[in-house]
Amino acid sequence: MPLFRLYCQRCREYFKVFLPLSKAKEGASCPSCGQKVFDPSLGVVQEQVRPEGSGASCTLPQRG
């Protein structure tokens, strides 16, 4: 299920929500105020989710 980043104009804040593609055109309710929000120009957020305790690190080596 894709993760969408939406902007609530009432709250003036972004929020992220998982939506099935079949429901994406319907948008989502803002978690703060409940207003229905959808801005198709924002598209899908791609974030890598790793399981807890996987030991993987996302830090870059230090230059020295």
Q: Is it the case that residue 32 has pLDDT exceeding 90?
A: yes
Q: How far apart are CA 4 and CA 45, in angstroms?
A: 5
Over residues 45-51, the mean pLDDT reads: 56
Cβ within 8 Å of residue 1, ≥6 positions away? 18, 19, 20
Phi then psi for residue 36, to 5 deg, are -75, 130
Q: How far apart are CA 28 and CA 14, in angstroms?
A: 12
Q: How far apart are CA 44 and CA 16, in angstroms?
A: 10
Q: What's the DSSP call for residue 12?
A: T
Please write the tens of the pLDDT for every residue from 12-29. Answer: 998 988 888 888 888 899
